[in-house]
Chain A
């Protein structure tokens, strides 16, 4: 059974600082997804990582995938308040739908 673990689950960081969110998964997968959710809203796709070594960046967020280590990272550079949200990683297992991590609730404070 595929398990997806994120850490930390809660993160409070100061504006301007850098930090990394980690996503580990337990079985082989060649792709991984990152989503963002604002309070009371739906999930919005951030990144789709499709192969080992894939790296994608948008603004202050950069995601990478190491399929051999079964690890993905979401790196935040020079955080700003607008990045406050909950971030989910998700992994497919064979032909099954996505299995989600529990999410990382990020709060960026001045």
Chain B
């Protein structure tokens, strides 16, 4: 996962606390994504950004906000954490070309909300 870094790797929050998950890439790609992974649920898209300054909601956006201030970074913010947001969060980007692209994932952030 050398091209995509996520911080922190682990985090424990109390209900109601806020925090920002950071994702940064050094691969110069436009599209970036935030997914959450829960046992038995696969990966579900929270938000994505097709380019700097643009963001769109995915399947499960409630309780989250995102920011894409530059091409390199895409952050995910939990304003008031809830136990239901306990999950593993993956940042991803799309690499390749229109007819041959794939998503490349960061190492993940394991978040526990108590």
Interface residues of B in 41-70 (CB under 8 A from A): 41-45, 48, 58
A45 to B41, CA, bound (A): 19
Interface positions, chain B 67-114, Cβ under 8 Å from A, are: 90, 99-100, 102-108
How many pairs of A and B residues are in contact by the CB < 8 Å rule?
44
- Known contacts A42-B90, A43-B90, A97-B58; is-contact A33 B102 (Cβ 8 Å): yes
Q: Are B41 and A102 in contact (CB under 8 A)?
A: yes
Q: For residue A30, which residue of chain B has the nearest CB? A: B99
From the candidates A41, A45, A88, A101, name the one contacting B102 in the complex (CB within 8 A).
A45
Per-residue 0/1 for A86-101: is the Cβ within 8 Å of any B Cβ (1 yes, 0 no)?
A: 0010100000011111
Q: How large is the interface on A (under 10, 10 to 19, 20 to 34, 35 or more residues)?
A: 10 to 19
In the complex, the chain B residue whose C-beta lies closest to that of A95 is B50
Query: Are A48 and B1 in touch, CB under 8 angstroms?
Result: no
Q: Could you tell me if A103 and B103 are in contact, using CB atoms closer than 8 angstroms?
A: no
Residues 13 to 31 of chain A near chain B (Cβ within 8 Å): none
A87 to B90, CA, bound (A): 16
Do B103 and A101 have beta carbons less than 8 Å apart? no
A100 close to B100 (CB less than 8 A): no
9 A-B pairs with CB atoms under 8 Å apart are A41-B107, A42-B1, A42-B106, A43-B43, A45-B102, A50-B100, A88-B42, A90-B103, A97-B103
